[in-house]
Structure 1
């Protein structure tokens, strides 16, 4: 269902409107009227006949006309009954400002569930409860349905916040800074509509150029991935509330290495969302993205009237993964011809402390004409000769001639820079107080440009033939029937094999004689491992022995492993001992491939340096596996790790079979996408041999999620 009626309602009912100026119901109604809303307004209050000059009605059902949007501001216990009235009136958009729901505890949570149930019954979309309200400025509507003390300015930035207090603080600050908004949305408890719903709608909103969010969490993360990736507008998010508690509880290497925030980091990276570190950077990005063109490269021209700020800016450019542009020879020659002999012309361009507006003008124009320059930052510090106003006017005049090259400025000072900064602001050229902020804004533009390029070059997920899903289904059913969550290694190995992941032969044995028989069949040497769902990291307790050469060693090892394990973990349920074919090929690299299922975003795939030191060295890369991995994306994962340098061949060693590694990563991704029942998976180690000799998964661990029958 469309949520357009929240943004462009033709009529609004304020349930709980009041003539008492101390009441929230008064503030909301007054803001709607004073904000210039041109639709029909219906105050609802059974104890009044007129409120703020508008005819009042006892309930929405008494209003003779249709109502597009209802705003509820009454005590929580009465809200469900009023929501029923809205349903009967066929109102499909409701904002519940009232507090007193799940944020206060169990009783409030039950009340909130009742509200959601009513909404589903009548097809109502609800914002809230427990919200500040919503502001929507557009060509059709000027609606300020909030109880904020002042109204935001009109602009092209949409701001969505999980915190109402954050909204009012930003509102107050934005008025001082002259920043305007197209939409101002308080999410509250997100009982129905969430940030994802509003991002989806705002990505097509003609009044909005950039979407900002302050969030503590994301509900329906997999839908968020689809919505964010397909958004027609830049999205910038400040995400708070990270914690490492989830990582501590993980049983797999992948879960332990993922941490609490890595899934959000990958979600933003893979969908082109720009992540802000703090509130200041959130708006630094927003101002640039809403007012400046997207650059075609990373080359930055720096023009300054002082050496110190130029050096600071140069450092900031490098730190933000941009590039100090190398000028063409003709650019350097032209700058030498028009600037004083003492000026620096090799970037940063130092026009010297006595620079007037003419000198800034010719330097800026010359730099922007250079094809190596993709964006520019102008730095000015107040000297006796500095012409802030005149320079600003000339920057404003130059900018339209370079429509694909963003320009930002950093005017360092106080009173002396105010008038010049205001001229720039009115012309939509960002002006920051220090170079670092200006460079950070350019970084935001560059990040958005990079993602658009990546989106055009994106490849579809890898496809595979000859996957034996029937075999996998049988194994999972057997594990569930045994009331287990942890697969025995032979089961996990068979599942890997069913998905084309190369594995050694392995069989579970329950006696020394059986172990000898299997070893004779496989051929020596062999590996023997304890088999217990309670023992995930077998080598830590002496549960793995390699290079067993004959039948007598098999018998002795069987007894030794049993004795060691029963002493170390007397309560563990032991199914027997696995006998595994020994992989004895020289020149290999140990790699880990794993998956941890994130509760918001689904399967999170990891790869990197494997073996026993994986948790200590933490040389890994991650990707969310929402739609499956392409071979190109899997290769990028590998290339982000330090072990990639070894895989390519180092110090005379031959290169490893990276193609085989990429193939296994994609197959693990496909397996985890096909089976949401898999909660954690580790392939560690995967031996990657020399190029052309493939790879093999020596150890596979799979843990299932708790099904309804086991909760």
Structure 2
């Protein structure tokens, strides 16, 4: 048996938490220096020092203050350089103007991490921003990480570290809490004692000058004490960092966000429908959906959701069954459920028949199920048992009102055993003292209990929305031939560049449709005419009726100049329309704005749907997509949804599903469905256009006409593309928040045996190919790859392959060797090379595996060289991997491309490393 050409440690996100993390020096320091420590009562410096020494964390505390020899009985030092040990964590509580020099002293002294408590930075204006720049200059000289400035500090209850000026130490628990507001941190901390809520970490992140959301989310994602992450957010900061980290961690730990600023108005200066419909808060919602993060509206809901998701499984759908002993609360719960997008479950015939034998005639046998006020504990139990088997029910809410005949405590004891039935069970025990014991029994059993039923249904609506969004991260999209040929992509880029350089910023309709055609987006055939005779000749050629529209380099909205004439049935009508448009343009904006008209066939709109597809630029998230009901009244109906590019077919379908018109597109009132798979393809191609052609500022296809029941049913009737002004530097524009598919790493290559293959980045659609690839691997290849044998069923499990194929190209890169087998007509993956950035560092780990049949063909070396180039492009400092000592072939490959082979503490393993 041939030896494989690969061995490396498993993926970076599988590295055990026991390994050192760069932020450990902040959250688990061996020693702490308090710069600005003070004896003054009520000062921040004194509170910081007192919190550290009154809650021993197992390390040494060094007060730093040049005016004191000792503080609170502890020897003090004049500066950080005088501290006798290398400091893990420095907490800075000095005036803002001194912070840059203090940071410089910390860097010179080799301090590993810092927290800047001081306020007075960007929140104060230009002078504060200049201070931040000076701090960043110093940070760039070292590997030191900084939390803050303008923050409360951090608390790690599990080791007793209170590196904050909060009044108390948080209770230990499983919730990681992060906040931009120090005042809110204090309020939440006070509240947590009353509610007995514990934390794995309590973090005031401040201005995020260095350590940002992504860094903290990754850290808590690796932390074994953290089961869920709660965030109070005021600004997103580095959107790509947040989304990259959140998407990865949300697959294993719930991330729940509350964000201030929901009511921020949409952009008012927008020139397109899309620009008018895109508001920054709506974009934020779209971003959270994309990465599987849940947003709530109330602070209490942060902790309610953390509790519910810890105790109960995620629902498979949005259908709830309600069991109650009072009609009113059941109706209120129903109203809240449906208002939030949930549904009452339609009980199966079997369920209804079983309930008929149990529920009194005067009760409600349908959903919500009313057991009446004299319901016995056994009635509750039997009803819950029946409903738990109902296949149409995704979740159950049990409501109890304390009437004279009820026994809340005994009922709770009987229902407690149903806490783990595979679907969520929630309860609302309404009342005060009479229900406390029963509510406590349910809570202890793992059934979350709420004082009001509408609160419970609101929480359920959050649950199914969260589950729905997470499924998008797990579903394997259908492969689409949406990749645009390089020549077409370059043709569009050159055209856009030439138009911008000419001083124009508006593409004509003809130019817009050329762009659509290049990206495979069908549009109605459109011809240009600059004279009346030419217009009539074109109309005669394509056949009547026709539509003519104004053709101009400057007019954005044709309706502003009466620039569209429909259903023209003869040459005279075309002549009159041409003259009318020309006269209107001359009167309203000047004759110089009129070039001619475009002519296109009149498309029958009967029984068709007008859709809109557009994009504009958000200051934080970059290009944003819009889809929904189109036409002239698009702003009136407001049936649109936002999403972040790029899309695959699964994400495209998710956007479609969130609109009201989607139900009609599936077929309604004897109309057939439109070709939804074609619409998916158009959305995917459009998303590629948006992220590849960065010269585009705003773009609308309105209407995109969809005809039910026919193939090739989609056609863009009108399109508008607005470019960035020529003086705008494209490189300075907001980047796409989600890194697009890296087409620059696609290229052909020939193996030693002459086989021609394509080496390209992996795609989410590659899951079926990866299954076949793993079926070809020998046990020895598996052992060398993972250091132990893994069953095929585990290697090809959907949840695992989803994470391997649907990657975040900003954090890792996986290259596959793709072979188009002429004998089978099928594509095959012959090898995979992966480069994964290590959390909190500027280093990455590589991994390679080549199918046994194709080893010794130079493929492993070629993939490794390409991964090195990716590392250089990403400005990484080092790439490394662990290799079994016996795998001499892989060690030789590493040496040939420049790696150094080093011994490790494990005699059976060596480390290959290369500095870039």
Question: CA contact under 8 A between 1:167 and 1:186: conserved in structure 2?
Answer: yes
Q: Note if 1:600 corresponds to 2:600.
A: no
C-alpha distance in 2 between matches for 1:110 and 1:617 = 46
Is 1:581 the counterpart of 2:600 in the alignment? yes
Quote how far apart the aligned CAs of 1:76 are.
Answer: 0.7
Distance 1:177 1:83, change over 3 A: same
Residue pair 1:298, 1:374 contacting (<8 A) in 2 also: yes
Match status 1:285 vs 2:276: no
CA distance in 2, matches of 1:219, 1:207: 26
Partner of 2:792: none
Question: In structure 2, do the counterparts of structure 1 residues 545 and 5 end up closer, same or farther at CA, with 3 Å as the change threshold?
Answer: same
Partner of 1:438: 456
Check if 1:412 corresponds to 2:430: yes
> What corresponds to 1:194 in structure 2?
212
* Cα gap change, 1:333 to 1:677, in 2 (>3 Å): same
**Does the Cα contact within 8 Å between 2:171 and 2:193 map onto a contact in 1?**
yes
Alignment partner of 1:238 is 2:258: yes
* Relative contact order higher in (CA < 8 Å, ≥ 6 apart): 2
1:44 aligns with 2:64: yes
Please give the residue correspondences for 1:37-76 in structure 2 after superposition, counting only pairs within 5 Å.
Answer: 37-76=57-96
Q: 1:472 aligns with which of 467, 478, 492?
A: 492
Cα deviation, residue 345, structure 1: 7.4
Instruction: State yes or no: 1:128 paired with 2:183.
Output: no
Aligned to 1:539: 559
Comparing 272-281 and 93-102, the one that deviates more: 272-281
User: Cα distance, 1:418 vs. partner?
Assistant: 4.5
Shift in CA distance, 2/511, structure 1 to aligned 2, threshold 3 Å: farther
Structure 2 residue 44 is matched with structure 1 residue 24: yes
Query: Could you say what secondary structure the match of 2:271 adopts?
Result: coil
Q: Counterpart of 2:214 in 1: which secondary structure? A: helix
Q: Distance in 2 between matches of 1:430 and 1:286?
A: 11
Question: Does the CA contact (< 8 Å) of 1:504 and 1:583 recur in 2?
Answer: no
1:700 pairs with 719, 734, 738, which one? 719
1:81 corresponds to: 101
Provide the C-alpha distance between the structure 2 equivalents of 1:375 and 1:296, rounded to a whole number of angstroms.
9
| Change in CA separation of 1:510 and 1:4 when aligned onto 2, cut-off 3 Å | farther
Size of the alignment, in residue pairs?
Answer: 703
The 5 A counterparts of 1:262-661 are: 262-295=282-315, 300=320, 302=322, 304=324, 306-320=326-340, 321=342, 323-324=344-345, 326=347, 375-382=395-402, 398=417, 402=420, 404-418=422-436, 421=439, 429-459=447-477, 462-465=480-483, 467=485, 468-506=488-526, 527-546=547-566, 557-570=577-590, 574=593, 576-584=595-603, 587=606, 588-625=608-645, 627-630=646-649, 632-644=650-662, 647-648=665-666, 656-661=674-679
Cα gap change, 1:564 to 1:335, in 2 (>3 Å): closer
Of 646-655 and 141-150, the range deviating more from structure 2: 646-655
Q: Which runs of 5+ in 1 are unaligned?
A: none
Which residue pairs with 2:273 in the alignment?
253
Find 2:230's aligned residue among 212, 227, 238: 212
Q: CA 1:208–1:693 in structure 2 vs 1: closer, same or farther (change >3 Å)?
A: closer
CA distance in 2, matches of 1:32, 1:692: 70
| RMSD over aligned Cα atoms | 3.6
The offset of 1:99, in angstroms, is 0.6
Conserved? CA contact 1:155–1:181, under 8 Å: yes
Q: Secondary structure at the match of 2:146?
A: strand
CA separation of 1:246 and 1:17: change in aligned 2, threshold 3 A: same
**Is the 1:14–1:42 Cα contact (8 Å) retained in structure 2?**
yes
Identify the residue that residue 16 of structure 2 maps to in structure 1: none
How far does residue 97 in structure 1 lie from its aligned partner after superposition? 0.7
TM-score, length of structure 2 as denominator length:
0.69
Shift of 1:480: 2.0
CA deviation digits over 1:264-318, x for unaligned, max 9?
Answer: 2222223222221222222221221233344456565655555543443454444
Contact kept? 1:314, 1:324, Cα under 8 Å:
no
Please identify, of 223-232 and 152-161, the stretch whose mean Cα deviation from structure 2 is larger: 223-232
Helix, strand or coil for the counterpart of 1:593? strand
> Contact conserved, 2:355 with 2:383, CA < 8 A, in 1?
no
- Structure 2, unpaired ranges of 5+: 1-20, 733-916
CA distance in 1, matches of 2:360, 2:631: 62
Q: Is the 8 A contact 2:47 2:165 kept in 1?
A: yes
CA 26–519 in structure 1, closer or farther in 2 if over 3 Å, else same: same
> Judging changes above 3 Å, is the alpha-carbon distance between structure 1 residues 496 and 129 closer, same or farther for their aligned structure 2 residues?
same
- CA distance change for structure 1 residues 154 and 166 in 2, over 3 Å: closer, same or farther? same
- Rate the CA distance shift 1:709–1:553 in 2: closer, same or farther, 3 A: same
* Contact residue 157 and residue 170 of structure 2 kept, 8 A: no
Q: TM-score, normalised by structure 1?
A: 0.87
Residue 568 of structure 1, CA deviation: 0.8
Contact in 2 for aligned 1:318/1:324 (Cα 8 Å): no
Partners of 2:589 and 2:440 in 1: CA distance:
72
Q: What whole-Å deviation, never above 9, does each CA across 1:39-71 have from its counterpart, x for those lacking one?
A: 222221122233234332222221222222211
1:293–1:403 CA contact under 8 A, matched in 2 = no
User: Structure 2: how far apart are the matches of 1:643 and 1:367?
Assistant: 33
Matches within 5 A, 1:96-135: 96-135=116-155
Aligned residues of 1:518 and 1:579 also touching (Cα < 8 A): no
- Supply the distance in 1 between the matched residues of 2:690 and 2:548 (Cα, whole angstroms): 28
Task: Say which is worse superposed, 422-431 or 342-351, in terms of deviation.
Answer: 342-351
CA displacement 1:483-538 (0-9 Å, x = unmatched): 33322333222211211222344455656576667667767765443334442111
- Indicate yes or no: 2:700 matched with 1:682: yes
Secondary structure of the structure 1 residue equivalent to 2:209:
coil
Q: Residues 551 and 80 of structure 1: is their aligned pair in 2 closer, same or farther, counting only changes over 3 Å?
A: same
Cα offset, 1:672, TM superposition = 0.5
Q: Secondary structure at the match of 1:121?
A: coil
Q: 1:559 to 1:9 in 2, by over 3 A?
A: same
Q: Aligned-pair distance for 1:324?
A: 5.0
> Quick check: 407-416 or 649-658, which moved more?
649-658
SS in 1 for 2:177: strand
